[in-house]
């Protein structure tokens, strides 16, 4: 089962949830796929690790609604029938103390490598933006050279034009780079939180 098939089945099985809650759960699983794919896993491997979409949906829905409670959020005029005291949602079985300790230890050592790598990527993005700004400001330095009375060679004028062109290209490239950095950082953070909490959303 690939990513599209997995998410489509999960979406269908979660159809009884309110749209906002269903979308939130779908985004969590999409983030999990994104991070795992970036770490070299195939879509089929990720789907197999996550399990059966129907069972995952049942676990998410279980205990949220009683059998007699109608699904009424599609009709704002409908009134839910009283169903008695609210039923607490079924809790995910907790890890043992040893398992939790091993998970946190694994995350600690993983982050010792992954976090510096992320920081390095961010520094690379900042360097790219800084280089673009410096190139775009090259006409200012040429103008200052004119003001102090130094002779300016035609080659310098051409060099400034080249730097301006490169600066514009780098500035345009910086935007998608920073978007990618934000997305990968958020995905990694989400994965850390989900792993630390046993796969459930914090």
Q: How far apart are CA 132 and CA 28, in angstroms?
A: 35
Q: How far apart are CA 92 and CA 86, in angstroms?
A: 18
Q: How far apart are CA 63 and CA 66, in angstroms?
A: 7
Q: How far apart are CA 73 and CA 56, in angstroms?
A: 22
pLDDT digit string, tens, across residues 125-158: 899 899 989 888 888 877 877 777 666 677 777 8
**pLDDT value of residue 199:** 56
**pLDDT value of residue 123:** 93
Q: Which parts of the chain fold into alpha helices (H)?
A: 3-13, 19-38, 43-50, 53-61, 97-136, 138-147, 154-196
**pLDDT value of residue 88:** 43
**pLDDT value of residue 121:** 92
Determine whether 176 is exposed, middle or buried from the number of CB atoms within 10 Å of its CB (0-12, 13-18, 19+): exposed
**pLDDT value of residue 65:** 54
Mean pLDDT by 10 residues, the chain (202 residues): 89 86 87 86 88 86 55 49 47 64 86 91 91 86 75 76 89 89 90 75 43
Q: How far apart are CA 50 and CA 6, in angstroms?
A: 10
């Amino acid at each position: 089962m690939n990513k599209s098939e997995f998410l489509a089945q999960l979406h269908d099985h979660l159809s009884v949830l309110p749209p906002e809650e269903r979308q939130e759960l779908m985004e969590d699983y999409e983030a999990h796929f994104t991070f795992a794919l970036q770490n070299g896993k195939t879509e089929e491997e990720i789907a197999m690790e996550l399990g059966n979409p129907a069972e995952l949906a049942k676990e998410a829905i279980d205990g949220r609604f009683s059998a007699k409670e109608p699904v009424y959020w599609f009709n704002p005029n409908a009134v839910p029938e009283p169903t008695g005291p609210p039923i607490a949602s079924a809790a995910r079985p907790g890890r043992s103390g040893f398992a939790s300790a091993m998970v946190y230890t694994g995350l600690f050592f993983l982050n010792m490598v992954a976090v510096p790598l992320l920081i390095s990527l961010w520094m690379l993005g900042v360097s790219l933006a800084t280089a673009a700004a410096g190139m775009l400001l090259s006409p200012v330095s040429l103008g200052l050279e004119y003001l102090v009375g130094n002779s300016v060679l035609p080659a310098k004028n051409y060099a400034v034009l080249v730097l301006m062109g490169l600066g514009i290209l780098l500035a345009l490239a910086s935007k998608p780079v920073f978007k990618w950095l934000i997305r990968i950082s958020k995905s990694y953070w989400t994965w850390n939180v989900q792993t630390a909490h046993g796969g459930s959303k914090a």
